[in-house]
Structure 1
């Protein structure tokens, strides 16, 4: 989203990082109870190209750094995917003004392309912590003022290969399929979805646009495309599909879907169990996944498959 500069309460400027800004990028210290990109991680991933100077923005007042925004992307990507860290020096003094200007600068600079996200990770009990509530809320105001349009609270889950594995399905078979098959499946499972992003995009742009956007997004993620599978019954009828991929750091339960005519029969457990086995059999130690707070059936499925809640992620989307 583009727009005119946001009117600040105090005079400050926002600019992209320069080669001489290495110290500026790493000197900020996170004091709020939200996830933080620490200096060691930032240096390591600057070297791999997951963070880059041209994807990093700095806010200054009177020659002093008062904020930074760090965007993350794949090593081979031409533009970032997520805003991972939005920091201001004084979170008590209208931080949403500086934050919004940093967000707006990035969105304007990166231009058209796949929708971008801003992720804020907090502890599970964050609503009971006033400092966490403040940290989440000012970032939400900054996200909206800066150009993000939709906010969703997601619950993050994780399990390791030392946790008991769920039983593998005895009623479904799994097989690979071409991209166009998965594109049609994205459209089929959208009916009756509880996912906030799906509902929003279908309402705004329709099923075809959703299916194309989902396919493009999941193809862009790290992981093995050959692991994508269609699930069928013995009579050949399609029940759903699974897309096991990766985040930057862990194996991921990226997407699973059951077609409307087969819902209510517990197939979500079969699909999730298969994804767990696929990842662990491929040598993945840790598997992560997320479900919208409102999606109680998916959260229950994660628990049944041996996952535990690890954090809450506030996701701001374009």
Structure 2
């Protein structure tokens, strides 16, 4: 039977919020949806359903900034458990593609899972069909990321010998381009391949400037001789204070610079009395994961990101 994909209206709200799942993945409950809708991070036109025989059989919830013209991420995609296994992927992929066509962009799809999801057959199965749907819809690249969090009881790391100063946008574009060389970050490598080093750097600047938080909390790091060695962006997500980016110039890697950058970012947030600071890094980026551990961050979840 034909499945129709469409954005919701206010009349669909009850059916939209009736979806739930027992799969071991993060999903959006009714309370959170209402809270996000009140701030325009979720909207009816960004909340889609797949309808078969007059009944919604799947939903997709995209998320974006309150003033954004299009959503930035797909945060939730659920398919009714009574949908046959051989239909689930096609329906999910159809929802993603229909939304992307309407928005004019194909946002990344984020699926949060437990730290030990690899050892849970149900979690593996839940991600398997989602990965197939993502590929079918055009989100062919997937990256596993580790989410970490720091709280004041962990203590602010001891300051290093680095000195810090502010920097202008032009300097940060240059720094973004320079630290991309040899980067272990999958998104950075893909952006450079698509846009070139300078194009990716300009894109990075625009993205990080769009985040909440103060632009004044971006820091350029200098060593004892006054040579620039890296930078750190202490900013915010929509919910928490964050270490959003750390970059060490290639010629200064392996010298502990990353520890000083993390310490400075945490110092900025600690002075603002932030109760929690978060960060993420690719699961494959072992040096950054270990730096977070040394700074007192603990792993809170794994995040699978499907993107073009």
TM-score after normalising by structure 1: 0.93
Change (3 A) 1:71 1:152: same
The Cα of 1:22 is off from its aligned counterpart by 1.0
Deviates more, 1:33-42 or 1:202-211: 202-211
1:268 match: 258
Query: What is the SS of the residue equivalent to 2:254?
Result: coil
Deviates more, 1:74-83 or 1:253-262: 74-83
Within 5 A, what are the aligned runs for 1:248-267? 248-267=238-257
Query: What is the SS of the residue equivalent to 1:206?
Result: helix
The Cα of 1:161 is off from its aligned counterpart by 1.5
- Of the three residues 32, 40, 52, the one matched with 2:23 is 32
| 8 A Cα contact 2:243 2:277, kept in partner | yes
TM-superposition CA deviations, 1:207-251 (whole Å, max 9, x none) = 111111111111111111111111112322101011112112111
1:96 match: 89
Note the residue ranges of structure 2 that are not aligned, 5 or more in a row.
none
Note the residue ranges of structure 1 that are not aligned, 5 or more in a row.
1-9
1:111 match: 104
2:111 match: 120
1:84 match: 75
The Cα of 1:77 is off from its aligned counterpart by 1.5
Within 5 A, what are the aligned runs for 1:37-186? 37-90=28-81, 93-94=85-86, 95-112=88-105, 116-169=107-160, 171-186=161-176
Query: What is the SS of the residue equivalent to 1:192?
Result: coil
Within 5 A, what are the aligned runs for 1:10-25? 10-25=1-16
Across the aligned residues of Structure 1 and Structure 2, the Cα RMSD in angstroms comes to 1.3
1:310 match: 300
1:209 match: 199
1:5 match: none
The Cα of 1:33 is off from its aligned counterpart by 0.3
**What number of residue pairs does the alignment pair up?**
306
| 8 A Cα contact 2:156 2:270, kept in partner | no
Within 5 A, what are the aligned runs for 1:225-304? 225-304=215-294
Query: What is the SS of the residue equivalent to 1:252?
Result: strand
For 1:40 and 1:30, the matched residues in 2 are separated by 15
The Cα of 1:310 is off from its aligned counterpart by 0.5
